[in-house]
A = this chain, B = another copy of it.
């Protein structure tokens, strides 16, 4: 430990000396602040930073992760009560809101190979000496997928790779179907719920998802306990709800799961599966995969197990039996408020979930304890006389793991009020050693760039922004970098512009705020040097975290600073710190991507049709194996992007004018006229919402944001301008043009609001 510290600090000195720290520059041109307000804000942030103590993070983490704390468990409730009491002690106005959500826990799990040989899967993660909580078995949830259907099926296996739609195209070309079979897929590439969903769509009667060592096991590094990666019996629990359709309680889409809420019948809930699905370790998967024959899997389908990967069907035949206890379960959201002194009805929200699958040291408690430390120091500052201008609302969510339940139900319950009052939602989840990752609304990109420029990286002593840039610059310089990575590298080296933030798909609690309600949101986390295989495993424990996650908790502190500075910047700004040009440029880039997507789909279709006409596929194929040509693609029309192109042009114009006027109104150290500022704030509070439409996205009206959504078949990964993009990908041309119109309308509403806000700014 000593050697590490000295290496780190010498490196930090060398690097920090070479590159000026941005802290002192933080005051200059602080977005949303006059010069004197900015100076005060810098001082406030420094006071905040100085009070943080990593020892608290460590102590709370140990305590909160000491027992299983999944939704509905005694320790999750105890943690909620603990968090509530802490908030109160720290001077927050806090309470618990309870929602009754559908949850299922397994009562029976059987997986056995019945032919050609016999094998009974272990289906459990054993206690080991090196991991103390792994022996705390009471209340421990075994590996399972929540929202799997009950089922008792026996059938041959088909290996479906990651189980995403394009994998089924490969199977079809090989004459293989999952109809009446059990699909076995590997984790990775997409939200896990996609895998059984698509298997079900293709007629499978059951689904198994296993953790291949290629993705998070020995292929990546030493397995636990020697190293951080997933061991032979390690399994990944997780939800298989169809999140891209809606998040939250399956029985109450769009409304809060309060006591009196009207609930669907379980069999009518559109986001629940009809087939049983079970996650297993590679130790349990290996005998099944070994017993398969049929065609050898395509090269990019092969994992790192010491076998030849075959597609089947069979001869491996398995018996899968799952039974669950379905019940309404209370989800306890802790809601704590510091009321704003000047604009109490403008709310800056900050949330992190609290519930885990088992002990959850990394996911989510590493983020939760940062939230607590932020709350302690902020509360302490109010006791010393500071009051935020706008209200700050801190939220400890329950039920995130089954499907963002606690956050979604709360957001749906308070939808109207949030739409009027919420100016920002800041999210975090798990956190660890490494690089800052941030994604969200692009109107926030500039203020976030400024904030990140003012946070010092613990290991290197430069700003976390600089380290983030360096990381992308190096990744994109590698010989095998893909075009997207090269683009990010170019941006990383371009010091003239803000470094891009990611667009948000899904996977954590920002979704109901950003993509359902249209509240501007940002998601933060550090990581990249803490790569591991403990995700959703019993081994995501305190012992694992202090070895491999963030041993000194210095990145937990960095997270607390990053989040709190963001909260404070919004809470205390003279005018809400949004910059429209970043959003306009980003959307212009997405529009360009759509043009290229249309063109490349057309080119691909033409090429494929040419190859079909020449019978090239048949001629190139080995006639002793089945490899049918791909189906003839339909012609890809030229789409009418003009309405979108025009809306983007208007947006860029309005954004530029707005940004100029915005900058002008805060310089010369004259605070803006309070009444005007208030009106501008009100307009800006609703800016992001102009991007939503109640009709929502095709087939999923709950997703109202026209710019960002999780992909219908990616689940985690974002699709930008999703209504258009996915329609092009799925070749629904009329839908594509309908959404070109809708996105244009949204962008015009955004531009109009910018124009309105600008009209309230003085001419200078």
A219 within 8 A of B: yes
Binary interface encoding of chain A residues 206-225 relative to chain B, with 1 for a CB under 8 A from any of its CBs, else 0: 00000001000011111100
A460 within 8 A of B: yes
Instruction: Verify B615–A471 contact, CB threshold 8 A.
Output: no
A527 to chain B, nearest CB (A): 12
Residue of B nearest to A626 (CB): B7
A614 within 8 A of B: yes
A8 within 8 A of B: yes
Instruction: Verify B470–A616 contact, CB threshold 8 A.
Output: yes
The residue among A308, A434, A471 with the most chain B CB atoms within 10 A of its own CB is: A308
Q: Which of A91-99, A109-117, A603-611 contacts B (4 or more CB under 8 A)?
A: A603-611
On chain B, the residues within 8 Å of A136 by CB distance are none
On chain B, the residues within 8 Å of A223 by CB distance are 308
A304 within 8 A of B: yes
Q: Which of A37-45, A352-360, A373-381, A617-625 contacts B (4 or more CB under 8 A)?
A: A617-625
Using a Cβ–Cβ cut-off of 8 Å, how many residues does chain A contribute to the interface with B?
Answer: 54
A227 within 8 A of B: yes
Binary interface encoding of chain A residues 1-39 relative to chain B, with 1 for a CB under 8 A from any of its CBs, else 0: 000100110010001001100000000000000000000
A462 within 8 A of B: yes
A466 within 8 A of B: yes
Instruction: Verify B459–A623 contact, CB threshold 8 A.
Output: yes
A668 within 8 A of B: no
How many angstroms from the CA of A304 to the CA of B11 in the assembled complex?
36
Contact of A470 among B213, B229, B620, B622 (CB under 8 A): B620
On chain B, the residues within 8 Å of A229 by CB distance are 308
A571 to chain B, nearest CB (A): 31
Instruction: Verify A218–B307 contact, CB threshold 8 A.
Output: yes
Q: How many copies does the complex hold?
A: 2
Say whether, besides A218-B306, A308-B222, A308-B223, A473 and B620 are in contact (CB < 8 Å): yes
How many angstroms from the CA of A32 to the CA of B618 in the assembled complex?
34
On chain B, the residues within 8 Å of A607 by CB distance are 477
On chain B, the residues within 8 Å of A475 by CB distance are 620
A760 within 8 A of B: no
A302 within 8 A of B: yes
Binary interface encoding of chain A residues 484-497 relative to chain B, with 1 for a CB under 8 A from any of its CBs, else 0: 00000000010000
A479 to chain B, nearest CB (A): 9
Instruction: Verify B623–A474 contact, CB threshold 8 A.
Output: no
Instruction: Verify A8–B620 contact, CB threshold 8 A.
Output: no
A128 within 8 A of B: no
On chain B, the residues within 8 Å of A471 by CB distance are 619-620
A536 to chain B, nearest CB (A): 21
On chain B, the residues within 8 Å of A617 by CB distance are 470, 474
On chain B, the residues within 8 Å of A614 by CB distance are 470, 473, 493
Say whether, besides A306-B305, A619-B15, A619-B462, A493 and B610 are in contact (CB < 8 Å): yes
Binary interface encoding of chain A residues 463-481 relative to chain B, with 1 for a CB under 8 A from any of its CBs, else 0: 0001101110111010010
On chain B, the residues within 8 Å of A227 by CB distance are 308
Instruction: Verify A618–B460 contact, CB threshold 8 A.
Output: yes
How many angstroms from the CA of A303 to the CA of B44 in the assembled complex?
53
Instruction: Verify B470–A619 contact, CB threshold 8 A.
Output: yes
A529 within 8 A of B: yes
Instruction: Verify A467–B306 contact, CB threshold 8 A.
Output: no
Instruction: Verify B7–A623 contact, CB threshold 8 A.
Output: yes
How many angstroms from the CA of A467 to the CA of B616 in the assembled complex?
8
Instruction: Verify A474–B611 contact, CB threshold 8 A.
Output: yes
On chain B, the residues within 8 Å of A306 by CB distance are 213, 218, 304-306
Binary interface encoding of chain A residues 539-583 relative to chain B, with 1 for a CB under 8 A from any of its CBs, else 0: 000000000000000000000000000000000000000000000
Instruction: Verify B619–A466 contact, CB threshold 8 A.
Output: yes
Binary interface encoding of chain A residues 698-740 relative to chain B, with 1 for a CB under 8 A from any of its CBs, else 0: 0000000000000000000000000000000000000000000
On chain B, the residues within 8 Å of A624 by CB distance are 4, 7-8, 529
On chain B, the residues within 8 Å of A218 by CB distance are 306-308
Say whether, besides A615-B470, A620-B471, A221 and B296 are in contact (CB < 8 Å): yes
Instruction: Verify B15–A618 contact, CB threshold 8 A.
Output: yes
A752 to chain B, nearest CB (A): 41
Instruction: Verify A611–B477 contact, CB threshold 8 A.
Output: yes
Residue of B nearest to A621 (CB): B474
A282 to chain B, nearest CB (A): 9
Instruction: Verify B308–A219 contact, CB threshold 8 A.
Output: yes
Instruction: Verify B623–A477 contact, CB threshold 8 A.
Output: no
Instruction: Verify B529–A474 contact, CB threshold 8 A.
Output: no
Instruction: Verify A611–B213 contact, CB threshold 8 A.
Output: no
Instruction: Verify B470–A608 contact, CB threshold 8 A.
Output: no
How many angstroms from the CA of A316 to the CA of B66 in the assembled complex?
39
How many angstroms from the CA of A620 to the CA of B489 in the assembled complex?
12
A207 to chain B, nearest CB (A): 25
How many angstroms from the CA of A462 to the CA of B296 in the assembled complex?
27
How many angstroms from the CA of A711 to the CA of B125 in the assembled complex?
52
Contact of A460 among B300, B462, B470, B623 (CB under 8 A): B623
On chain B, the residues within 8 Å of A611 by CB distance are 470, 473-474, 477
How many angstroms from the CA of A300 to the CA of B478 in the assembled complex?
12
Instruction: Verify A467–B619 contact, CB threshold 8 A.
Output: yes
Residue of B nearest to A608 (CB): B477
Say whether, besides A607-B477, A611-B477, A614-B470, A221 and B308 are in contact (CB < 8 Å): yes
Binary interface encoding of chain A residues 740-753 relative to chain B, with 1 for a CB under 8 A from any of its CBs, else 0: 00000000000000
Report which A residues bind B (CB closer than 8 A). 4, 7-8, 11, 15, 18-19, 213, 218-223, 227, 229, 296, 300, 302, 304-308, 434, 459-460, 462, 466-467, 469-471, 473-475, 477, 480, 493, 529, 607-608, 610-611, 614-620, 622-624
Question: Could you list some 10 contacts between A and B, CB below 8 A?
Answer: A18-B615, A222-B296, A229-B308, A460-B618, A467-B619, A470-B617, A473-B614, A473-B616, A474-B616, A474-B617
Known interface pairs A304-B304, A470-B616, A529-B622; 13 further A-B residue pairs with C-beta atoms within 8 A, sorted by A's residue number: A8-B623, A15-B615, A15-B619, A213-B306, A219-B302, A220-B308, A221-B308, A222-B296, A470-B615, A471-B620, A477-B607, A477-B608, A529-B624
Q: Which 4 A-B pairs have the closest CB atoms?
A: A470-B619, A470-B616, A474-B620, A306-B306
